[in-house]
């Protein structure tokens, strides 16, 4: 399957939340008859999605034990023999006695700020792309789907995020249907264009899978006012808005709370799960593959 970046240069639009939704959903599906294996690479050193999926202690331990993406890069660079599995955190399958769909196994890699700064100030963009491409190549042997959660406010100096965009097959852009959502699009598409133009050994440039609206209430004036504009912006960049979207829901803050234990998808998302499922199935279709029955 694919390598997908969740990217919008604007902060707080739901990149990390949507990364968690998609990884939870896809890890509970079957791809080519087998339980899908999903890896999330959290490129934001704030580690929102990694923490939400793995818990704060596991993420803090990975960073202090030097088991992050950026430590992996540094270890490879110094010629050390590495096992990529040592840099991945594993979430065990949810334990449930009920017939409901348990939260499935998935894997997470984090990033650590200091080592990222070293890499981005000393290494060339080409070198970072080469290393990340080699990593995704290795991960793709083991995983069906790799999701990159990206940080906000990035520019050309953020070589790791630019490399992630460049080495992705698809980029999903979460946004809100608001004036600020519209304002964020110029920078976002500029950065995508910049990343697409980075030389990558004739590897195809990423496609934009579409703009996925989050925190959306279709009844509001704000939605109606800016929706049309977002459709036009998308069209100017050869893409479209997702048909499905994520409504604003206060209950979602608990779904991201790593101190609560949820054994099943339904317990985690309740009625919101249907929105997660529909948007994820639409994304799969946009990336050209079919999602099979969810395992029981």
**Residue 94: CB minimum distance to ligand ATP, A:** 21
Q: Which of 88, 79, 8 is nearest to 42 (CA)?
A: 88
Which one of residues 8, 10, 15, 206 is an interface residue with Mg ion (CB under 5 A)? 15
Which of 14/102 has CB closer to ligand ATP?
A: 14
Rounded to whole angstroms, the Cα distance separating 266 from 39 reads: 21
Closest to 242 measured CA to CA, from 234, 250, 252: 234
Using CB distances below 5 to 8 A depending on partner kind, what does residue 263 bind out of ligand ATP, Mg ion, none? none
| DSSP state string for 38-56 | EEEEE--TT-HHHHHHH-H
16 binds ligand ATP (CB under 6 A): yes
Q: How far is the CB of 247 from ligand ATP (least distance, A)?
A: 6
Contacts (Cβ under 8 Å, ≥6 apart) of 56: 258, 259
Task: Verify binding: residue 48, Mg ion, rule CB under 5 A.
Answer: yes
Pick the closer one to ligand ATP by CB: 152 or 284: 152
- Work out whether 12 is an interface residue with ligand ATP (CB under 6 A): yes
Interface segment toward Mg ion; rule CB under 5 A; list 14-22, 187-195, 241-249, 265-273? 14-22
Single out the segment in contact with ligand ATP by CB under 6 A; choices: 159-167, 184-192, 219-227, 242-250.
242-250
- Residue 7 dihedral angles phi and psi, to the nearest 5°: -140, 135
CB 217 within 8 A of CB 275: no
Does 188 sit near Mg ion (CB under 5 A)? no
User: Residue 51, interface with Mg ion (CB under 5 A)?
Assistant: no
Task: Using DSSP bridges, classify how beta strands 38-42 and 106-109 pair: parallel, antiparallel or unpaired.
Answer: parallel
Stretch that binds Mg ion, among 41-49, 111-119, 127-135, 251-259 (CB under 5 A): 41-49
Nearer Cβ to Mg ion, position 48 or 70? 48
| Of 125, 247, 269, 237, residue with least CA distance to 173 | 237
Token couple for 115 = 């080592």
Q: Give me the least distance between CB of 186 and ligand ATP, in Å please.
A: 17
Contacts of 225 (CB under 8 A, 6+ apart): none
> Which residues inside 150-179 make contact with ligand ATP, applying CB under 6 A?
151-152
Residues in touch with ligand ATP (CB under 6 A): 11-17, 44, 48, 151-152, 214-215, 246, 248-249, 252-253, 256
């Amino acid at each position: 399957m694919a390598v997908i970046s969740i990217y919008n240069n604007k902060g707080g639009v739901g990149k990390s939340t949507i990364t968690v939704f998609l990884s939870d959903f896809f890890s509970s599906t079957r791809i080519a008859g087998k339980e899908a294996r999903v890896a999330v690479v959290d490129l934001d050193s704030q580690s929102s999605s990694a923490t939400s999926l793995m818990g704060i202690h596991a993420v803090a331990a990975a960073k202090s034990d030097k088991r992050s993406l950026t430590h992996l890069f540094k270890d490879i660079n110094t010629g050390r023999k590495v096992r990529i599995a040592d840099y991945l955190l594993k979430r065990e399958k949810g334990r449930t006695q009920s017939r409901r769909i348990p939260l499935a196994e998935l894997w997470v890699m984090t990033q650590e700020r200091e080592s990222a700064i070293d890499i981005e100030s000393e290494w060339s963009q080409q070198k970072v792309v080469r290393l990340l491409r080699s990593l995704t190549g290795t991960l793709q042997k083991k995983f069906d789907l790799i999701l990159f959660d990206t940080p906000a406010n990035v520019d050309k100096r953020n070589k790791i995020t630019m490399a992630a965009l460049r080495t992705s097959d698809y980029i999903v852009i979460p946004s809100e249907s608001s004036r600020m959502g519209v304002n964020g699009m110029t920078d976002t598409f500029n950065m995508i264009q910049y990343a697409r133009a980075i030389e990558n050994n004739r590897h195809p440039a990423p496609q934009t899978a579409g703009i996925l609206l989050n925190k959306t209430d279709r009844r509001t004036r704000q939605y109606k006012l800016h929706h049309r504009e977002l459709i036009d912006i998308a069209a100017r960049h050869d893409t479209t808005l997702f048909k499905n979207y994520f409504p604003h829901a206060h209950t979602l803050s608990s779904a991201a709370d790593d101190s609560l234990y949820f054994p099943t998808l339904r317990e985690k998302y309740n009625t919101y799960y249907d929105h997660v499922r529909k948007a994820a199935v639409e994304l799969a279709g946009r990336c050209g593959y079919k999602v099979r029955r969810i395992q029981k």
